[in-house]
Chains A and B, each alone.
Chain A
């Protein structure tokens, strides 16, 4: 890299290119926000249990072992589609029964959730399961 291509030319391309592509990114973000209402199941959020469930999901750090729509840790099953896979009653019974104590098996802590909290979590999983994820995951196992 020599000759007529100077450092200041390189610098100008950097600033110009960065600003241009950042503006394109902001434009795409704006468009995404316009399209999202059709995909993100936001109508369900009118039910306050879902927000309560999301907070429980966060304050018990579920993402430290599980994935949700494929994001999180890879130690325990995907939960974005767990409502479809298992159903609400199974989810509640499962959480209540932890830890299994089976020797050598990965263990989930006991979070001592109330019945109301368990219902909130299930409402949250049902809501996430109804987001339009472009058909991901490939099958029900997540």
Chain B
């Protein structure tokens, strides 16, 4: 760790991992409800568990991005953070807001929560992933702006590199596109159209810039490859990302009342979306192969390579599987979508945040890398979670193909619930894979408590 203020990222990483655990526990509850429909009903209905599962994911990834930015920006800019105190204050505000929101979801019926929190003033609640009450949404805006102020001021007073520039563009884009979450017209088609400006332009747009910047930073550190080379790769990857991904938004505009030319734009551009992810895979492997030093942190290297591979499989390949309009006509809104969502989020965003945590945490704890024993445990966590997510994805894909066949392709289509009953075996197997994931997560987290031996290198 080169600058004292980088240490502010530590609480962000710890809280992120705490929320990760909560996310997985609620995921297991939902998985069980798929096969034991009345499990925990009426205390935790499925929709509540799902809100906690998805919102915890979003919040912990945002925590991870912020932590990564606080670590990365001072080092790239070669200057202390503009205001470490502001960063710590924002951490507590964000954490308390997130905790209160989850408590609200769990303890109060959603309609009551909406009434209590002023949803009548600006109705924004009750849309997928944007379920947060108005005060939480406003809190996210305030925290994001103050965070961006802090980070931007740091970059402005220090060195400007491609990495911190791309990171800043990504983070500003994240904040700007979130503003569309306040736009909720009565017209369902327009509501859905602009809802995607948050959701799609986040995960298949600006978040990929953040991902690229974090990955590039860690690769420079662990491989020692010339910055010049890595920065060129970064620009090429994010160019491909946005050139394909912006109009690729069209793959969400096939069946929601939007003009039918979107079937062409969406199919063609999103068919190209795997390319930047494949470039990311090549990037990670190329840089590690051309490494100029043997970094003692093998675990971080593994996570970086894993990000390259799994983001390509989850976002690239599993996205392509159902992105062409004639295919999507049958798969839209089925378990195929769920399969893609799970591997894409894990492969791209979960893994890149853990890559950063894996690289930065030992340094913040005063050592270049963790002890061999701790790294072995961490790598067990990597393999258990990664293999588990692959199986979760495969089982959901199998369930999805069957569902599409029984409910949509068949000459005598089954009702939704009858089709669900037919595929329950795959839901059971998904749940068991989820248990393996949880075990992997426990092993991963336990690796933080195995003492370190490696000496710090300045």
Binding site for B on A (CB under 8 A): 1-2, 5-7, 10-11, 13-14, 17-18, 21-22, 24-25, 28-29, 31-32, 35-36, 39-42, 45, 50-51, 54-55, 57-65, 67-78, 99, 101-107, 109, 111, 127-128, 131-134, 136-142
Contact = CB atoms under 8 A, between A and B. Distances in A.
Interface stretch (B3-11, B59-67, B84-92, B414-422): B414-422
A95 B243 CA distance: 45
A104 B36 contact: yes
B443 to A, nearest CB: 30
B36 A58 contact: no
A57 B192 CA distance: 14
B329 A65 contact: no
A106 B33 contact: yes
Interface string B27-64: 00010011011100110011110110000000000000
15 contacts: A18-B242, A21-B247, A24-B246, A35-B259, A59-B125, A62-B126, A69-B188, A74-B338, A75-B33, A75-B46, A104-B36, A127-B188, A133-B257, A140-B413, A141-B419
B128 interface: yes
A104 B34 CA distance: 10
Contacts of A109: 41-42, 45
Contact of A13 (B36, B235, B249, B253): B235
A24 B243 CA distance: 10
A133 B255 contact: yes
B333 A40 contact: no
A38 to B, nearest CB: 9
A98 to B, nearest CB: 10
Contact of B329 (A76, A107, A132, A136): A136
Nearest to B165: A11
Contact of B38 (A40, A74, A103, A133): A103
B329 A138 contact: yes
B349 to A, nearest CB: 20
Interface string B176-219: 00000000101111101100000000000000000000000000
A63 B263 contact: no
Report, nearest first, the 7 A-B pairs whose CB atoms are least far apart. Answer: A64-B47, A58-B126, A70-B333, A106-B37, A136-B255, A10-B235, A40-B189
Nearest to A26: B246
B413 to A, nearest CB: 5
Interface residues of B, number: 78
A99 B42 contact: yes
B332 interface: yes
Contacts of A17: 239, 242-243
B187 A39 contact: no
A6 to B, nearest CB: 8
A24 B261 CA distance: 14
Given A14-B235, A107-B37, A7 B228 contact: yes
A105 B38 contact: yes
B433 interface: no
B407 interface: yes
Given A10-B239, A14-B235, A40-B190, A73 B246 contact: no
A47 B15 CA distance: 47
A128 B188 CA distance: 7
Contacts of B50: 64-65, 73, 75
A64 B333 contact: no
B121 interface: no
Q: Which of B187, B254, B257, B419 has the most CB atoms of chain A within a 10 A radius of its CB? A: B257
Contacts of A67: 333
A5 B213 CA distance: 20
A72 B128 contact: yes
A107 B51 contact: no
A62 B45 CA distance: 11
Nearest to B42: A109
B114 interface: yes
B258 A74 contact: no
Given A5-B232, A59-B126, A133-B256, A21 B415 contact: no
A107 B417 CA distance: 12
Contact of A137 (B37, B189, B243, B408): B408
Contacts of A31: 259
Contacts of B45: 64-65, 107, 109
B333 A71 contact: yes
